[in-house]
Amino acid sequence: MARNTVSRSLHDLGLSAWFGGTLANAVALNAAAAEAGSNTGAVANAGWNRWTPVNAAAIGAHLIGSVGQLAGNSGRVAQQQGVAGMSVLKTALTAAALGVTAYSRGLGKIVDSGGNSSAKSGTKPNRRTRADVAAAQEQLDRLQWVIPALTGALVVISSYAGEQQRPSEVLRGTTSH
C-alpha cells in the first residue's frame, strides 16, 4: 500500500479542529460571554464570527483528506470485509455534521443580525432579547452540543478505520470472503 500522509494529515487535522473548536466554543465562549455584562451578545458574536473562517478551512481540509483517504484505500473498501460499511457510516456522520454545522451557522447569522442583543449568554436569551434572535439562540443552545457529538463520533470511527488497516485485520478481512 502506498502512503497517504498528506490526505491522512488533512483528514485528521481538519477533523480535530472542527471537533475541538466547536467543543471549546460551546464550553467556554458561550458561557464566558455571559460575563461581559451588557456586551454578552457582541462578545459571543465576535468569537463565533472569528471562528467561522477557521472552521470552514478545517472542514475543507477534512473533506479533502477524506476524499484522498477513500481514493487511497479504494481497494480495501472493495475487498476487505467491514471497510465499506465503516465508510458508509463515516460518510453519513460527516453529512450529518456538515448539515448541523451549516444550519447552526445560519442561526448564528440571525443572532449576529441582532447586533449587541441583550442575552444571558451566547445561547441563552433573556426577556429583552428580540424574538427572532431568542428563537435562534434557543436552537443553538441545543445544537452547539450536536456538532461535537457528531465530529467526536467521526474521531472514533476514524480510529476504528485505522485499526482496520493493521496487517492482521487486512488479512482476516480479505481471506474471509
> Looking at residue 14, what is its pLDDT?
97
Alpha helices for the chain (secondary structure H): 5-24, 30-33, 40-72, 74-79, 83-113, 131-164, 167-175
Phi/psi of residue 82, each to 5°?
95, -20
> Looking at residue 170, what is its pLDDT?
66
Whole-number Å distance between alpha carbons of 29 and 44: 7
What Å distances lie between residue 91 and 19, 59, 86, 94, 165, CA to CA? 16, 14, 9, 5, 18
Whole-number Å distance between alpha carbons of 67 and 53: 21
Domain boundaries, the chain: 5-165
In terms of residues, how long is the chain? 177
Average pLDDT over residues 63-74: 93
Greater confidence (121 vs 108) lies with 108
What is the reported pTM?
0.87
Beta strand 124-125 pairing with 119-121: antiparallel
**What is the grid cell recorded at 60?**
475543507
> Looking at residue 166, what is its pLDDT?
67
Query: How do residues 117-164 score in pLDDT, each as one tens digit?
Result: 667 777 888 888 889 988 999 999 999 999 999 999 999 999 988 887
Whole-number Å distance between alpha carbons of 119 and 149: 25
Query: How do residues 5-52 score in pLDDT, each as one tens digit?
Result: 999 999 999 999 999 999 999 999 888 888 877 777 788 888 989 999
